[in-house]
Structure 1
């Protein structure tokens, strides 16, 4: 009995209809996340299209229909169609010729099932006809979707040997969609965990952060550790750190704060700046990410007594991170704007203090008192300066 994709807002897009018409009858099917997420009732963010047409022909036909294309991955058969309501990646049907665990050599295919055979999980190998919305399911992905089971297509060991990153993708998809564990997938991930060492650090970091961005990945992270996967990519994360992650997620929910993958990564590390710096370098995080991770690591002083002083000193973002990790309330700094210190070095010089180290020291002392008193207005700052100058 045929299965059909439920009608959704994205399936009625006029620009997608124009795209399908440009490619021609039978030359387009929606595939992957858009099909899967629609069946699950999840918001669709990206639409991908598969086609038997070679990329050069895709470009030619879309140009004839005045649809702009970008050859984003043309070496692998992917062209991006620039559309008013959201771009679409169009990929020519492919099958793998050889793989080395990091990249694959592919050739174009003519049959839809050949393209399905090379995908990772059954729930990602669902195709939908754009006109009839009839679903093509070559590997029982629909049944797995109903069971909330993340299952590799074919032999799990073989799929992982083709691309080692699929181990991390498995756990990310399991944390997002899974309910029933697949023993074959779990066993393969455990046995081949060591292959993750051969991946680029950027790819590992991307998958790890994507996993940590999910609503509650703590149980999955704990299982990754028990299966020996987490120690390969993040040996610093022991059982104690996973417990910190669990408490952090509970604190985020209680405070109605959105999940943040970098904050959660910090939870999986000992509270030590050198450790954070080493992990950031190893995962090749951006400079901004490294700086934030280091700031969160120095969280011993987040005792909850003066959140605003902490926010003034370290910035709102880092203060929120430290407070949540420490289990303290963030309400004192919610919607709070960090004030500017209403005193300049020139103000002190104007009072007769010689420019130099004494001015800087006086400025710091007044600022410290200002922070301790809860950031009073300019009049009080002048009183603090007067008192300090009188003592001097």
Structure 2
């Protein structure tokens, strides 16, 4: 008896049934992460459909049904249906015509197995009939999922030559779904072809590496990447032990894992090197600022409130966790506003200019040191400063 997709909240969405009806019976199947994660009992974030219909026909059918359709990647066969519960990507069955490790030229196909054959891992090539829930498994994905085994479809080296980024995707999926020992053929292929990562854009490398680092405890997988020579291709000088310590601190203190903080742990505390890595991975301005700021930390935990006041809440959490400090004092604490302005000092007879700024900074430093006392104490500090 064929295995079937368990009922899940997302499969009961009325608008999803309307979308399937618009495409026509037998023309579309759920595929990829939604099927995989439902079988594992995990929450489903993104829903993807594969279809035998050409993208132009998909557009026509959705428009006729009053469903907003966006040609997000129509040259590669992808149309996005915009639904209230979230977008659904609908992609025409494909097969690769040519690949160069960075991009693929595809042709549309009509055979489900042919479409499955061009995907990366067996556990990502599972399809489900929306009407019956029947699972279609062409390459042993169900058995691999049961064994928590991450395995390339077919020849692992060929899959990687088609898209070099699959090396990093392999380690991300191994960290999230895999068991030990890992699939030997997959690891061997990743190690052998690690140098091909140099041919990818820095942005793609950075995005995929941060996806890996966003997992709760990526340290064992990152360590394995180091052993296989993969990590040195994208991030030399990585401190695996520091990442392991950070992951342990996050778990001990109930802090959510964070990819930028995890990346900061891997780097030496050198702001210039952090800036270089941020540029290499094409991080956003905000991400770069946070990474560099984390690299400015010094040994030993700092006062949590003072850190948050000077650096910001998120940055203080980074510093504390990276240095083994406690973040509990920050829970529910709001960063106060310094209750003194330069005008109040001028009103006491000090000429506007550098002297006002000096007094402000001095009083603020005392205020922070004393634990942010109220306005009355600030006035006392001002009196003391003016009578020195």
In the alignment, the residues of structure 2 paired with residue 58 and residue 305 of structure 1 have an alpha-carbon distance, to the nearest angstrom, of 58
Any idea what SS the aligned residue of 1:85 has?
coil
Report the number of matched residues. Answer: 387
* Unaligned runs of at least 5 residues, structure 2: none
Query: 1:281 pairs with 279, 282, 285, which one?
Result: 279
Any idea what SS the aligned residue of 1:329 has?
coil
Corresponding residue of 2:232: 231
> After superposition, what is the alpha-carbon deviation per residue over 1:50-98, rounded to whole angstroms, capped at 9, x for unaligned?
0011000011111111111000110100000112222210000000010
Query: 2:306 pairs with 303, 306, 309, which one?
Result: 309
- 1:169-184 map, 5 Å: 169-180=169-180, 181-184=182-185
In the alignment, the residues of structure 1 paired with residue 329 and residue 46 of structure 2 have an alpha-carbon distance, to the nearest angstrom, of 38
Structure 1 outlier segments of 4+, above 6 Å: none
Corresponding residue of 1:127: 127
Q: TM-score, normalised by structure 2?
A: 0.98
How many angstroms does 1:305 deviate by? 4.7
Corresponding residue of 1:380: 377
- 1:241-252 map, 5 Å: 241-252=239-250
Any idea what SS the aligned residue of 2:79 has?
strand
In the alignment, the residues of structure 2 paired with residue 128 and residue 377 of structure 1 have an alpha-carbon distance, to the nearest angstrom, of 62
Any idea what SS the aligned residue of 1:203 has?
helix
Any idea what SS the aligned residue of 2:387 has?
helix
RMSD, aligned α-carbons = 1.0
Query: 2:346 pairs with 333, 345, 349, which one?
Result: 349
> After superposition, what is the alpha-carbon deviation per residue over 1:275-296, rounded to whole angstroms, capped at 9, x for unaligned?
1111001111000000011111
> Is contact 2:123-2:144 (8 Å) kept?
yes
> Is contact 2:302-2:320 (8 Å) kept?
no
Any idea what SS the aligned residue of 1:190 has?
helix
Corresponding residue of 2:368: 371
| Aligned: 1:195 with 2:196 | yes
- 1:60-75 map, 5 Å: 60-75=60-75
> After superposition, what is the alpha-carbon deviation per residue over 1:330-381, rounded to whole angstroms, capped at 9, x for unaligned?
1222221111111111111111111111111111111111111111111111
In the alignment, the residues of structure 2 paired with residue 148 and residue 37 of structure 1 have an alpha-carbon distance, to the nearest angstrom, of 12
| Aligned: 1:265 with 2:263 | yes
